[in-house]
Amino acid sequence: MRRGRSEAGLCLFARTPASTAGRLGAAIFALALWLGSGAAGFAQQIEVLPETWGGRHLEDPLPKEIRFLTDSDFPPFNYVDEKGELTGFNIDMARAICSALNIICTIKAQPWDTLLTALEKDEADAIIASHAITEANRQQLAFTDPYYYTPARFVVRSDAEFDDMSPEGLAERRVGVVKGTAHEAYLRDFFAGAVIVTFESDSDARSALRFGKIDALFGDGLGLMYWLNGASSRRCCQFRGGVFTETHYFGEGVGIAVATQDSKLAAVLSEGITLARKNGDYEELLLRYFPMSLY
């Protein structure tokens, strides 16, 4: 599966350990210029100072330390900022989890294609690098509960005079989608009355919507969010309608990966995710890293 859109179209921004081809690409993230860039081999350890843990009791003793791995070229999730510091949503999520659990953590960045091997060699305890929770990945890894999803969404021109994004509301309207993705499969299964127009790339589909060649565009909500908020959209368009998160088409979300035999650590980290949601840290991170609501 490619780091960007897979053949099956699962989770545009979720990744698997199989390959690194198509790693997001400059087209999706001109944003990377704003966030800063860094070499893939960059490595930095960050001591995460714990705060008081206010979570539920876990039966087994908590680990004294958790060693996280990530990589450094997947903005806004993990990247090196203009000061040369490792940062991003995944980095701060690891910090929030460890703070909530009152556990000291280290976070180290190294190239994407070495992460799984390092975990297998016990050079780390967990990987927080936007791995998709899929059956294929479960053959090599165990996962926490998901800590984010990338839902599918409809986008229309801001001057569009229709609001009904149901199959009935989009009947006979021209709906764009990237060819060969789960988003196309979903449209063909549930929006058969629409005139489905396929495109070779996200940029082609977005350009067609901006210039009014299609009535709506269906795709990955996270990628569309950055496009809508960026200069290339020219503020032409907006989300309309609700979100689509059917796991059969759009995956089970993104989790923290641990070794297959380490289910106890996965449970501890899942509890940390829950606590970070309860104490408000998770909401603050969403507001910090994502320019508009995905949901």
Q: Which two tokens stand for residue 165?
A: 């994004």
Q: How far apart are the first and last CA of the chain?
A: 26
- What pLDDT was estimated at residue 290? 83
Residue 251: its pLDDT value, please? 86
DSSP annotation string for 193-206 = TSEEEEESSHHHHH
Q: Identify the pLDDT of residue 138.
A: 93
- Compute φ and ψ for 287, nearest 5 degrees: -70, -30
- β-pair partners for 70: 109
Q: Tens of pLDDT along the chain (295 residues)?
A: 223 323 333 333 465 554 333 333 332 332 333 333 333 333 344 444 333 334 445 666 889 999 999 999 998 999 999 999 999 999 999 999 999 999 999 999 999 999 999 999 999 999 999 999 988 899 999 999 999 988 999 999 999 999 999 999 999 999 999 999 999 999 999 999 999 999 999 999 999 999 999 999 999 998 899 899 889 999 999 999 999 989 899 989 999 999 999 999 999 999 999 999 999 999 999 889 886 665 5
Task: Count other Cβ atoms within 10 Å, centred on residue 57.
Answer: 5
pLDDT score recorded for residue 36: 32
| Residue 207 C-beta-side C-alpha neighbours within 13 Å | 7
**pTM of the entire predicted model:** 0.72
Contacts of 228 (CB under 8 A, 6+ apart): 155, 237, 238, 239, 292
